[in-house]
Amino acid sequence: MENEIFKILESARSISPSAEFRERSRRLIFASTRPKNASIRESFFGNFKLGLTVAAASFAILAIVGNYFYPKSKESSLLANSRELLKEVENLDFKIQLGEIRYLDTSAKEIAALLKIIEGAN
């Protein structure tokens, strides 16, 4: 029984497709669409380019509209507000420096008092 199966399989090795079948199969394979990975890649980069284009256009529109609706009179008030803020910052910095000086002065006095106590103990 096994010998008969082997003979059938041996005879099947010699089977080959006809030239017409090979040519038709070849045309079908080359006419088929690209692999899915290639289409995913293309769609990703296509969407990415579209996104960049939309973002650039949106930025340009916002810049144009912003300049149109932003009156020049507000600029002078913004400059005045910034000057006031600078004055506040300068005063704040000065107060911080005075606070540090007070702290250093009191700590120096406390250290001097402790040193006198230590000298007296010796």
- The DSSP H or E segment spanning 105 is helix 73-121
At residue 59, φ and ψ (nearest 5 deg) are -60, -40
Residues 35, 41: Cα–Cα separation, whole Å: 10
Domain boundaries, the chain: 38-70, 72-122
Q: Global pTM? A: 0.27
State residue 72's pLDDT score.
57
Interval 74-114: pLDDT, tens:
555 666 677 787 777 777 756 667 777 888 888 888 888 88
Please give the Cα distance from 50 to 44 (Å, whole number): 10
d(CA 119, CA 112): 10
